[in-house]
Structure 1
Amino acid sequence: MDYGCQSMVKKIESILIKRPQQAFISQENLDKTWEEFKYFGCPDYETVLKEYEVFEKYITDNVENVYYLPQDDRTGLDSIYTHDPLKITKKGAIYFPMGKVLRGREWEATKEFLEGIGIPTLGRIEPPGKMEGGDVLWIDERTVAIGRGYRTNDEGIRQFKELTKDFIDEYIIVPMPHGEGEDACLHLMSIISFVDTDKAVVYSKFMPVFFREYLIDRGITLIEADDDEYDYLGTNLLALEPGKVILIKGCPKVEAKLKELGVEVMTYEGKEMSYRGTGGPTCLTCPLCRK
């Protein structure tokens, strides 16, 4: 199969997702485990299913090939957020042990599945290296920005560079703020999402000046989210193709700014499945091929 995803906005041809039935499993399972996964309250399972149905239809209506991760004992609630245990490059998948201990074996389940459908493995970030997919942002096919924070460390970045040095020209290392602390889910893609080749939704308050200036110098229009909409995942959008995105419902100011710029916006109710676990539409998906 075709694979390779060194872009945040090219049209998604193939994608990997995991339904809540295989990740959250049941209300009983949520009741038992939401606190250890540090969710903002226990999700209501039946509401999650309704929210996901709308989200999934956006995916199946717009992406030709949709693959579903099965239930796996090596994974927990967070495995619904398929973006984080790996990155798909044009040379194959790179798997991450991840900084959140409870997600430490997700990469194994994902690797087993993807190799089974024909996506080769380029490598793995080995401990003590740490890395999560939400910290790896493609600027273009040969330029990548990497957030250096609690979830991604220097050793993880070093190994990633070694694995990709033959086809990446520039690495931009972006220091991440302390934010809400070590346990908070703060990735580089928590503060920036490209919605087109020349447009990105951002939360500048958490963005280093040099990186913000770099984006502006590249001609990127920065669409600012305020504190409230950042807190509600308003900077976590999935571009299905240039200028066509999915956004969690409840961020009207970001939505209005996007529409003013000609971006097509599809929204879904996501309080239970996205907000409580801090995983927006990008987190819920792992594009396997963009063209």
Structure 2
Amino acid sequence: MKYGCQSMVEEIQAILIKRPQEAFISQEHLDENWKNFKYFGCPDYATVLKEYEVFEQIIRKHVKEVYTLPADERTGLDSIYAHDPLKITKKGAIYFPMGKELRSKEYLATKAYLESIGIPTLGEIQAPGKMEGGDVLWIDEKTVAIGRGYRTNDEGIRQFKELTKDVVEEYIIIPMPHGDGVDACLHLMSIISFVDRDKAVVYSKYMPVFFREYLIDKGITLIEADDEEYDYLGTNLLALKPGQVVFIKGCPKVQKQLEDLGVEVLTYEGKELSYRGTGGPTCLTAPLYRI
């Protein structure tokens, strides 16, 4: 199987998802667990299924190979957000024991599945290192930005650098703000999503000045989300290919800016599926191969 995903925007050829049937399980399971996972209210399971059907149809229409994670007792509700336990490099997958305790064994389930379909393991981040996929942002094939915050620590970054030293030339470490606190899901990719090689949706309020200036100096057009649309995941977009993105409905100001710049925006209703658990279309997917 072909693999390797050192880009946020090149065309996705293979992708990994996990359906709500295997993650949320049932309304009863959601009722029992949503508070422990600190969701913004309990998702309505029937609505989740409808929202996910639309989302999955978009993915299957535009991506050649779609792989689905099975149910696994080592995982919980958040495993529907398949992006965070790993990153796929050209040398194989790197797995993360995530900072959120309830997700600490999730990577084991993902690793077992991906090895079963032929994706080799490059390594794992070992404790006391912590890292999550949402903190690892490819600027280009040889350059990676890493958010250093509550979910990703210095030791995790050190190990990631060691594992990727043969395929990465530049690391940009981004100090993350306290934001809404220790328990909030704040990743680097919460405040920036590339939608094309030279365009990104951003929430500048949480972005260090040096990083914002770095992006501008590279010629990247910054599409700004305001407070309201940031709160509704307006900076969490999945690029299927340069200039074509999947986006949650409900952020019209960001959507208009994108469309005015010629970006094709494919939308899905996501209040129950995405907003409740703070996981937009990027979080719902783990691209395995981009070219």
Q: TM-score range by the shorter chain?
A: over 0.9
Which amino acid is the alignment partner of residue 259 of structure 1? E
2:98 and 2:163 map into 1 onto residues whose CA distance is: 17
1:228 and 1:52 map into 2 onto residues whose CA distance is: 23
- 2:141 aligns with 141
Which amino acid is the alignment partner of residue 196 of structure 2? D
Q: Does 1:227 align with 2:238?
A: no
1:78 is paired with a residue of what secondary structure?
helix
- 1:59 aligns with 59
- 2:248 aligns with 248
Which amino acid is the alignment partner of residue 167 of structure 1? V
What pairs with 1:106-185 in structure 2 (closer than 5 Å)?
A: 106-185=106-185
C-alpha deviation, 1:166, in angstroms: 1.1
Q: Does 1:193 align with 2:196?
A: no
- 1:81 aligns with 81
1:221 and 1:8 map into 2 onto residues whose CA distance is: 15
Q: Does 1:38 align with 2:38?
A: yes
1:119 is paired with a residue of what secondary structure?
coil
1:123 is paired with a residue of what secondary structure?
strand
C-alpha deviation, 1:5, in angstroms: 0.1
1:167 and 1:137 map into 2 onto residues whose CA distance is: 14
1:152 and 1:135 map into 2 onto residues whose CA distance is: 7
Deviations 1:243-271 (A, max 9, x none): 00011000000000000000000111000
User: Structure 1, unaligned stretches of length 5 or more?
Assistant: none
2:239 and 2:205 map into 1 onto residues whose CA distance is: 23
- 1:93 aligns with 93
1:167 and 1:227 map into 2 onto residues whose CA distance is: 36
Which amino acid is the alignment partner of residue 120 of structure 2? P
2:123 is paired with a residue of what secondary structure?
strand
Deviations 1:97-137 (A, max 9, x none): 01000000110000000000000000000000000000000
C-alpha deviation, 1:181, in angstroms: 0.1
2:104 and 2:273 map into 1 onto residues whose CA distance is: 21
- 1:28 aligns with 28
- 1:269 aligns with 269
TM-score, scaled relative to structure 1: 1.00
1:48 is paired with a residue of what secondary structure?
helix
Superposition RMSD in Å? 0.2
2:59 and 2:175 map into 1 onto residues whose CA distance is: 32
1:141 and 1:260 map into 2 onto residues whose CA distance is: 28
C-alpha deviation, 1:167, in angstroms: 1.3
1:246 and 1:217 map into 2 onto residues whose CA distance is: 27
Which amino acid is the alignment partner of residue 117 of structure 1? I
- 1:279 aligns with 279
1:49 is paired with a residue of what secondary structure?
helix
1:271 and 1:48 map into 2 onto residues whose CA distance is: 8
C-alpha deviation, 1:146, in angstroms: 0.1
Deviations 1:227-250 (A, max 9, x none): 000000000000000000011000
TM-score, scaled relative to structure 2: 1.00
Which amino acid is the alignment partner of residue 207 of structure 2? M
Which amino acid is the alignment partner of residue 251 of structure 2? C
1:83 is paired with a residue of what secondary structure?
coil
Which amino acid is the alignment partner of residue 38 of structure 1? K
Which amino acid is the alignment partner of residue 12 of structure 1? I
Q: Paired residues, what number? A: 291
C-alpha deviation, 1:26, in angstroms: 0.1
Which amino acid is the alignment partner of residue 23 of structure 1? A
2:219 and 2:91 map into 1 onto residues whose CA distance is: 29
